[in-house]
Structure 1
């Protein structure tokens, strides 16, 4: 890997990149490579951290200077390959892991791979022209960061179940605050600090039968994989506020389906 060539590719999209080789603790939890956005006195830059013990080879596959995006690939000693979309979105640089089950070789195909199936289907049904597929707003969807909002103006909701000023959050990232939010369907799960990912009713009953004291843990009930619809203002510190005049279904990009996501420290 030629670091000078790699950095020149990032320069083509108006970005800076630093490459660092670290001992185990610097990247070990994320494997042989870790990608993040960091900041110094000159502003943001891409931070590529490689393990000295099991270094990965980093290669830029495709660059779109006008879009300020590039497609990066890492290859480890065992020939394991992962791809990452690096670019600029509204106000800041970002890194997104691309699902491995998609054939991706360009920035455009990477952006399509990050769209949920429902969004791609709506895109075709709405006859969105190819040149508009990756706009933040078109006839099929509105996008803010990793969240897609698909219009469903005919949706009828139970007003008593509509929540106000609710967060949309992925992992430890900064929340997107939604003026009105409505959840329906999904599976009821029991959540507490000891079981943050939640237990189904049968799992909960099994646990308390084996460990009766668990019944007194600070449980709360939530819904896993519900259908989520939002309306009104959607705000985020790193993005322009959008206003949804009708109900829109909320869908997250497909990055969580990528094994490569474990190499990404960046969270929007």
Structure 2
């Protein structure tokens, strides 16, 4: 579809490079619509994982450099990079918001709705399904560890908990880690795709009563949500985490469902 987009502008632009440059200057309302063409052509929509994925060859990276920056501004992150291709992925609430923006123009939405009627139009159907999902409020699984630094509560299947936050620049990530260390938290730092991840391990959480209390409150809400959605495996992992942290049982009904 990116190739076809360039063909559509024959007589207006002399080369695909001009198309790419012009597209990279699109505004916040127009760029998601342009991205729609890329998704329908070289992309994938996964409703179960609530994700949108774009794959391109390495030969296109220089040509589409400005567009890649636009994708990053929408929330796409580089996930897979091999000898021939590279993939950018956006997930969860950001993916749902992007799908809604892609179909925000009534004419575009009508066109996609017409495409859905075709027997082999699986990708447009998945995109419509993703756009129809509810966007969950941001920050519901995060806590403020120190002033101005919030971290997400991450639960592994084993029941181990980590607190995580990300920064684009290494110097910013180092600054956050040092602030956490000065506050008494043994924080770690590691690369994560195009970002740097600052994390606090479970043994650190267990040593701090106030931090444990904050994490337990988030875990309780997460358990209620996953149990109501029937996500048994996820609910069991959260229950294990609550047990390891000696979290108070505030809602036995949801724990029984796990």
**Does TM-score exceed 0.5, indicating one fold?**
no
Higher relative contact order (CA 8 A, sep 6+): 1
Q: Which has the higher helix share?
A: 2
Give the TM-score of the pair, scaled to structure 1: 0.27
